[in-house]
Chains A and B, each alone.
Chain A
Amino acid sequence: MSFLDVDFFTVALQRMRHAVARQQVIARNVANADMPGARAYDIGSFDFARELERARTQHDGAVRQDPALLWCTRPGHMAAGDESGFAAGPAQESWDELPRGGDIALEQQMLAMTETKLQHDSALAYYRKAAELVRTATSTKI
């Protein structure tokens, strides 16, 4: 077992992946905001329960019951589907309907971006704290 296979690391990483995937979609929206007829895309919000479930699921589909003991996988195996596992779809609601046919509101994208950055940074801070915890536990100094 590796120290980094513990649930809280996996979920924190997954949360960062979610933020990064969303940031990419926002970058696409902002770059295309002036294109006639361009529609806004977004990624669904982060579902903690689902991600925890996913973190405990092995690549063969079996659910790991005891995270500390039964976690065994082959590092060479890659997860199926999208690299990040977060698919982008048309945004649910837009603040604006532009005269040339698009619906990408820059203000809304800026807000989504701020939100994404905060989520990314908080997951990062969490990951750092958890790593410090492991470091303290493995430290020989008392």
Chain B
Amino acid sequence: MSNDLFRALGTSASGLQAQSTRLRVIAENMANADTTGAAPGEAPYRRKTVTFQSVLDEESGAERVAVEQIAEDPSPFREVYEPGNPAADARGYVLKPNVNALVEMVDMREASRSYEANLKTLETSRDMLQHALDLLR
């Protein structure tokens, strides 16, 4: 019986880890939202995305969630007219990263909400285990 609770703890922990990886990638995207190339024609920072996958942990039999891969977003870069920028091309345009702050913020809220939900599940499983152990008192 407690084995099942340990499995639940493991599943929640894997969810926490997956969501924190997602938050890390969002932070990378936000931090690099204005990172252009150093010279004309050089590509700026490319937005990264995280994909999840479901993994069966053979040892415990618990279904866990894990980061499948951190891929690059293939959408086109923004072009901004900034003739004074060292990375500007002959027409005066600079390639800016394909990061949209609004999309990142929404993604961040979702990741943080999922993180909280996993944390709450973990706490509840832990309480149930703790209360069962309290029978010994």
Residues of A within 8 A of B (CB): 13, 16-17, 19-21, 23-24, 26-28, 30-35, 38, 83-84, 106, 109-110, 113-114, 116-117, 120-121, 124, 127-128, 131
Q: Output the nearest chain A residue to B68 by Cβ-Cβ distance.
A: A35
Q: Output the nearest chain A residue to B63 by Cβ-Cβ distance.
A: A28
Q: Tell me how many residues of B have a C-beta within 8 Å of chain A.
A: 37
A32: B residues at CB distance < 8 A: 15, 52, 54, 63, 65
- Among A24, A30, A109, A124, the residue within 8 A (CB) of B132 is A124
- Among A26, A34, A84, A120, the residue within 8 A (CB) of B121 is A26
With A19-B128, A34-B114, A124-B131 known as contacts, the answer to whether A24 contacts B7 (CB < 8 A) is: yes
When the two chains form their complex, are residues B4 and A109 in contact, meaning their CB atoms are under 8 A apart?
no
Binary A-proximity of B114-134 (CB < 8 A = 1, otherwise 0): 100110111011011001100
A127: B residues at CB distance < 8 A: 135
Cα–Cα, bound, A16→B134 (Å): 14
Residues of B within 8 A of A (CB): 1-5, 7-9, 11-12, 14-15, 18-19, 52-54, 62-65, 110-111, 113-114, 117-118, 120-122, 124-125, 127-128, 131-132, 135
Cα–Cα, bound, A30→B14 (Å): 11
When the two chains form their complex, are residues A27 and B11 in contact, meaning their CB atoms are under 8 A apart?
yes
B113: A residues at CB distance < 8 A: 106
CB of B92, distance to nearest CB on chain A (Å): 40
Cα–Cα, bound, A113→B123 (Å): 11
When the two chains form their complex, are residues A27 and B12 in contact, meaning their CB atoms are under 8 A apart?
yes
Chain A binding site: helix, strand, loop or mixed by DSSP? helix
When the two chains form their complex, are residues A106 and B7 in contact, meaning their CB atoms are under 8 A apart?
no
When the two chains form their complex, are residues B128 and A120 in contact, meaning their CB atoms are under 8 A apart?
yes
When the two chains form their complex, are residues B1 and A84 in contact, meaning their CB atoms are under 8 A apart?
yes
Q: Output the nearest chain A residue to B135 by Cβ-Cβ distance.
A: A128
Cα–Cα, bound, A20→B4 (Å): 6
Cα–Cα, bound, A21→B6 (Å): 11
